[in-house]
Amino acid sequence: MNSESCHFSYGRIKVLIVVFITSLVLFSCNEQPTFVGETLLQDTVTLYALSTSTNDLISGDSTFIFNINTVNKGTFHIGKANGITALTLVRFNEPLKQNTNDYDFFASYDESKIVSCKIKLYPLRYTFGDSTNPNSLSFRVYRVNNWWSNLTTYDSLESGNIIDKSQEVGRFNGSISQKDTMDAIDFDLSKKVFLDWCKQWYNTKKGDTSIVWGLAFVADEGSSVIRQFAGTSQNSTNVIEMIVTYLDSTNTLDTLVVKEAMDKPFYKIDNFDSKSITVQGGTTLRSRLYFDVSQIPVLSAIHSAQFEMTVKTDGCVYGNFGMDSTLYVELYPNGHTLDKDTSLKTYMAEKKENKFFIGSITSSVEYWNRNGGKGFLVFHPEGARNERWELDRLQFYGTNEPDSSKRPSLKIIYSRIRGK
Which residues have a Cβ under 8 Å from the Cβ of 189 and sit 6 or more positions away? 117, 118, 119, 141, 169, 170, 215, 242
Core vs surface per residue 63-89: b (16+ CB within 10 A) or e: beeeeeebbbbbbbbbbbbbebbbbbb
Return phi, psi of residue 247, to 5°.
-100, 125
DSSP, res 251: S
In whole angstroms, what is the distance from residue 347 CA to residue 343 CA? Answer: 11
Mind listing the pLDDT tens digit of every residue in the chain (420 residues)? 444 444 434 444 343 333 333 333 333 444 343 334 444 455 546 899 999 999 999 999 999 988 888 889 999 999 999 999 999 999 998 776 555 556 778 888 999 999 999 999 999 999 999 989 999 999 999 999 888 887 888 988 878 789 999 999 999 999 999 999 999 999 999 999 999 988 887 777 655 556 788 999 999 999 999 999 999 987 778 999 999 999 988 899 999 999 999 999 999 999 878 789 999 999 889 999 999 999 999 999 999 999 999 999 999 999 999 999 999 999 999 877 776 668 999 999 999 999 999 999 999 999 999 999 999 999 999 988 888 899 999 999 999 999 999 999 999 999 986 655
In whole angstroms, what is the distance from residue 152 CA to residue 224 CA? Answer: 26
Provide the residue type at 299 as one letter.
Answer: L
**What is the three-class DSSP state of 390?**
coil
264 to 78, 150, 153: CA distances (angstroms) = 11, 8, 10
Which residues have a Cβ under 8 Å from the Cβ of 283 and sit 6 or more positions away? 65, 84, 267, 269, 391
Residue (of 93, 86, 82) closest to 70 by Cα position: 86
**What is the three-class DSSP state of 303?**
strand
∠ CA 101-106-108, nearest 5°, is 110
Q: Are 155 and 283 in contact (CB under 8 A)?
A: no
∠ CA 313-316-318, nearest 5°, is 130
Candidates 3.90.830, 2.60.120, 2.60.40, 2.30.110; CATH matching 41-66+284-417: 2.60.120
Predicted pLDDT of residue 335:
78
**What is the three-class DSSP state of 165?**
coil
Which residues have a Cβ under 8 Å from the Cβ of 297 and sit 6 or more positions away? 416, 417, 420
- Tally helices (H) and strands (E) across the chain: 8, 23
Which residues have a Cβ under 8 Å from the Cβ of 52 and sit 6 or more positions away? 58, 407, 408, 409, 410, 411
Q: Are 305 and 369 in contact (CB under 8 A)?
A: no
Number of neighbours of residue 168 by Cβ within 10 angstroms: 12
Which residues have a Cβ under 8 Å from the Cβ of 301 and sit 6 or more positions away? 39, 43, 44, 414, 415, 416, 417
In whole angstroms, what is the distance from residue 279 CA to residue 399 CA? Answer: 16
In whole angstroms, what is the distance from residue 362 CA to residue 415 CA? Answer: 13
Predicted pLDDT of residue 305:
98
Rg of the chain over Cα atoms, rounded to whole angstroms, equals 32
pTM for the model stands at 0.84
